[in-house]
Structure 1
Amino acid sequence: MDKTVEDVTHENGVNLHVVPSKKFKTVTITAKLKAPLSRDTITKRALLPYVLQQGTKSFPSRSDIQLKLDSLYGAVLSMGGGKKGNNHILSIRMEVANQKFISNESAILEEAMALLNEVIFHPYSENGAFKQSIIDREKDTLRQKMSAIIDDKMSYANMKLIDEMCDNELYKLHVHGYKEDLDLITAENLFAYHQTVLREDQLDIYVLGDFDTATVKEKVQSTFHRDEHQVEPYKKEEASKELNLQPNVVIEKQDIQQAKLHFGYRTHSTYQDDDYFALQVFNGLFGGFPSSKLFINVREKNSLAYYAASRFESHKGLLFVFSGIAPNDYEKAREIIELQMDAMKNGDFSAEEMDNTKELIINQLLETMDNTQGMIELLYQQVVAGTERPPQTLIDGIKQVTTENVIEVANKIELDTIYLLTGKGGESDE
Structure 2
Amino acid sequence: MVFSKMLRSGVRLTVVPSQKFKTVTATVNFIAPLQVATLTNRQLIANLWPVANAHYPTPRALTVALQDLYGASLRTGIDREGALSIATCQLQFLSDSVLPAGESILGRALALLQTICWQPLLDDQGYAAAFFTPERDNLAHELQSMTDSAENKAVLTAQAQYFQDAPEQAAVLAGTPATVAAATPQGLAAYWRTMAAHDEIEIVVTGAVSPDQVADLVAQWAVPARSAVTTPLQWQGTVPAPRRWQTPAAFQQSQYIAIYQLPVTYYGPSYFDYLVTDALFGGSANSLLFAAVREQAGLAYYAGTDFDAQTGATMLQAGIDPGTADQVRAIVKETLAQLAAGDFSPERLHSIQQELITNRLGEDDAQAAVNGRFVLAHRLPGADMTPAAFRTAVSAVTPAAIQACAGQYRLVVDYLQEGDARDGQ
TM-score band, normalised by shorter chain: over 0.9
Tell whether 2:5 aligns with 1:9: yes
Instruction: Confirm or deny: 8 A CA contact 2:233 2:310 kept in the other structure.
Output: no
Deviation (angstroms), 1:108: 1.3
- Residue 134 of structure 2 corresponds to 137
Tell whether 2:93 aligns with 1:102: no
Pick from 393, 398, 421 the counterpart of residue 394 of structure 2. 398
Note the aligned Cα RMSD (angstroms). 1.9
Tell whether 2:179 aligns with 1:184: no
* 1:395-420 Cα deviation digits (max 9, x unpaired): 22112211122222222221110122
Three-state SS of the structure 1 residue aligned to 2:219 is helix
Tell whether 2:114 aligns with 1:124: no
CA distance in structure 1 between the partners assigned to 2:3 and 2:405 by the alignment: 34
Instruction: Confirm or deny: 8 A CA contact 2:252 2:420 kept in the other structure.
Output: no
Which shows bigger deviation, 77-86 or 292-301? 77-86
* TM-score normalised by the chain length of structure 2: 0.93
- Residue 149 of structure 1 corresponds to 146
Structure 2 segments unaligned to the other structure (5+ residues) = none
CA distance in structure 2 between the partners assigned to 1:238 and 1:197 by the alignment: 24
Instruction: Confirm or deny: 8 A CA contact 2:30 2:87 kept in the other structure.
Output: yes
Deviation (angstroms), 1:236: 4.9
With over 3 angstroms needed to count, the CA separation of the structure-2 counterparts of 1:231 and 1:256, relative to structure 1, is: closer
CA distance in structure 2 between the partners assigned to 1:88 and 1:164 by the alignment: 21
Pick from 304, 328, 331 the counterpart of residue 326 of structure 2. 331
Structure 1 segments unaligned to the other structure (5+ residues) = none
Tell whether 2:15 aligns with 1:18: yes
Deviation (angstroms), 1:363: 0.6
Three-state SS of the structure 2 residue aligned to 1:272 is coil
With over 3 angstroms needed to count, the CA separation of the structure-2 counterparts of 1:335 and 1:233, relative to structure 1, is: closer
Deviation (angstroms), 1:128: 6.6
- Residue 46 of structure 2 corresponds to 49
Instruction: Confirm or deny: 8 A CA contact 2:33 2:231 kept in the other structure.
Output: no
CA distance in structure 2 between the partners assigned to 1:156 and 1:375 by the alignment: 33
Instruction: Confirm or deny: 8 A CA contact 2:83 2:233 kept in the other structure.
Output: no
Q: Give the total of aligned pairs.
A: 419
CA distance in structure 1 between the partners assigned to 2:372 and 2:154 by the alignment: 26
CA distance in structure 2 between the partners assigned to 1:37 and 1:333 by the alignment: 35
Three-state SS of the structure 2 residue aligned to 1:164 is helix
* 1:333-357 Cα deviation digits (max 9, x unpaired): 1111121122122222222222221
CA distance in structure 2 between the partners assigned to 1:228 and 1:40 by the alignment: 21
* 1:96-153 Cα deviation digits (max 9, x unpaired): 1112111156441211111111111111111371112222111111112212222232
CA distance in structure 1 between the partners assigned to 2:282 and 2:75 by the alignment: 31
CA distance in structure 2 between the partners assigned to 1:362 and 1:236 by the alignment: 23
Alignment of 1:194-209 (within 5 A): 194-209=192-207
- Residue 412 of structure 1 corresponds to 408
Deviation (angstroms), 1:226: 2.2
Deviation (angstroms), 1:77: 0.5
Which residue identity does 1:99 align to in structure 2?
D
Tell whether 2:172 aligns with 1:174: yes
With over 3 angstroms needed to count, the CA separation of the structure-2 counterparts of 1:155 and 1:386, relative to structure 1, is: farther
Pick from 287, 291, 296 the counterpart of residue 292 of structure 1. 287
- Residue 236 of structure 2 corresponds to 238
- Residue 213 of structure 2 corresponds to 215
Which shows bigger deviation, 73-82 or 9-18? 9-18
CA distance in structure 2 between the partners assigned to 1:389 and 1:255 by the alignment: 48
CA distance in structure 2 between the partners assigned to 1:308 and 1:105 by the alignment: 55
* TM-score normalised by the chain length of structure 1: 0.92
Deviation (angstroms), 1:384: 4.8
* 1:364-389 Cα deviation digits (max 9, x unpaired): 11011111122223333324556432
Which residue identity does 1:251 align to in structure 2?
Q
CA distance in structure 1 between the partners assigned to 2:23 and 2:146 by the alignment: 33
Tell whether 2:305 aligns with 1:307: no
